[in-house]
Amino acid sequence: MVEDENNDHSKHYLQKISALPCDIHVSSWSEKTYEILPNYFKNILPFFSKTDRALDGKHHGPLSHKNWVEELKGRRENDSGI
């Protein structure tokens, strides 16, 4: 396990990912990570909130995924003027 109190580990990998030669859209379930995403990327998707839990009790559940997709759809419709 990595103790990442200052987000140094995350920042290192965000820098590597942001340097890739492609258009990347990003989000996070971690508030700390989500807050620093604009330092590395232009295209920030909505925060991935945990509304429910998967069967393992640790990961986002089906409702969390559904809500996030609906939020993305709403954003897309607003951006396109539909």
Confidence at 42, pLDDT banded by 50, 70, 90: very high
2 and 38 housed in the same domain: yes
47-75 mean pLDDT: 95
Task: Spell 33-49 as b/e; 16+ CB within 10 A means b.
Answer: bbeebeebbeeebebbe
37 and 63 housed in the same domain: no
- Full residue range of the structural domain in which residue 82 is found: 49-82
In DSSP notation, 36-52 reads: HGGGT-SEEPPP---SS
Domain count, the chain: 2
Q: Is-above-0.85 flag for pTM?
A: no
